[in-house]
């Protein structure tokens, strides 16, 4: 079917074509810029520590290790078992500390409290502290992200 009148003028068509091409060119510039601006930062799948560094920990105490760029805490429980947490508050990302006398984790930024199992019990934190999987294998203390084989 041939239209009696064209929907747009030749000038409009060319402007659209040229403008569209220019826009697409700009977007193609934007892509590498965005890739550059956001660096790849992957959380580690696992970290391997020396178990000997943690063997002599007192019960009901914690020890810091590096979980990528974040601090992690290895906690020795009352029954002698070991747990690992990401020591970062689930509210706004401050580093938390463990207070053995009260058997609670505490975030000083906005008064956030967690019990000794890492469950949020007071203040603004919306979720429990993140637990990591902890395996003792011979001399190694292996700490893994959940879901990593």
Partner 1 sequence: MNLLGKKERAQSWFDERFGISGIVKFLREKKIPQHKHSLWYYTGSAIMLFFVIQVITGFMLIFYYNPTLAEANKSVGRLMTEIPMGWIIRSIHSWSSSFMIAFAFIHLLSIWITKAYRRPRELTWMSGVFLLGVTLAFGFTGYLLPWDDLSLSATKVGTDIPRSIPIVGVWVTKLLRGGEDVTGDTLTRFFGFHVCILPVFIFILLAVHVYLIQKLGMSLPLAAERRKEKVKELPFWPNFVYRESVVWLILLGILFTVAIFLPPSLDKSADLMAPAPEGIRPEWYFLFLFQILKIFPAKILFINGDTVAILLILLAFILFFFLPLLDNKPSEKKGKFITFLAYVSIVFAVVMTVWSLL
CB of 142 to partner 1, least distance (A): 20
Give the nearest distance from C-beta 143 to partner 1 in angstroms.
15
Cβ-based nearer residue to partner 1, 82 or 105: 105
Q: Which CB atom, from 43 or from 139, has the smaller least distance to partner 1?
A: 43
95 DSSP 8-state letter: B
Quote the distance between the C-alpha of residue 84 and its chain's center.
Answer: 15
Shortest distance (Å) from residue 123 CB to partner 1: 7
Question: Alpha-carbon distance 65 to 85, whole Å?
Answer: 10
Q: Nearer Cβ to partner 1, position 21 or 29?
A: 29
Give the CA count within 13 Å in the CB-facing half-sphere of 18. 6
Sign of the torsion formed by the C-alpha atoms of 79, 81, 82 and 88 = negative
Q: Report how far residue 25's alpha carbon sits from residue 132's, in angstroms, rounded to the nearest whole number.
A: 45
| Residue closer to partner 1 (CB basis): 126 or 138 | 126
Binding site for partner 1 (CB under 8 A): 37-39, 41, 43, 64, 66, 68-71, 87, 89, 91-97, 106-111, 120, 123-126
Q: Which is nearer to partner 1, 128 or 133 (CB)?
A: 128
Instruction: Let me know how long the chain is.
Output: 149
Angle at 69 between CA 66 and CA 75, to 5 degrees: 35
């Amino acid at each position: 079917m041939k239209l009696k009148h064209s929907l747009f003028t030749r000038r409009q068509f060319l402007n659209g074509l040229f403008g569209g091409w220019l826009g697409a060119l700009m977007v193609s510039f934007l892509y590498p810029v965005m890739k550059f601006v956001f660096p790849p930062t992957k959380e580690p799948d696992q970290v391997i520590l020396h178990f000997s560094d943690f063997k002599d920990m007192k019960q009901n105490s914690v020890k810091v290790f590096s979980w990528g760029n974040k601090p992690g805490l290895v906690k020795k429980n009352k029954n002698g078992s070991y747990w690992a947490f990401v020591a970062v508050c689930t509210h706004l990302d401050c580093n938390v500390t463990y207070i053995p006398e009260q058997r609670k984790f505490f975030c000083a930024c906005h008064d956030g409290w967690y019990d000794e199992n890492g469950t949020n019990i007071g203040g603004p934190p919306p979720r429990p502290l993140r637990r990591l999987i902890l395996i003792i294998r011979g001399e190694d203390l292996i700490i893994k992200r959940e879901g990593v084989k």
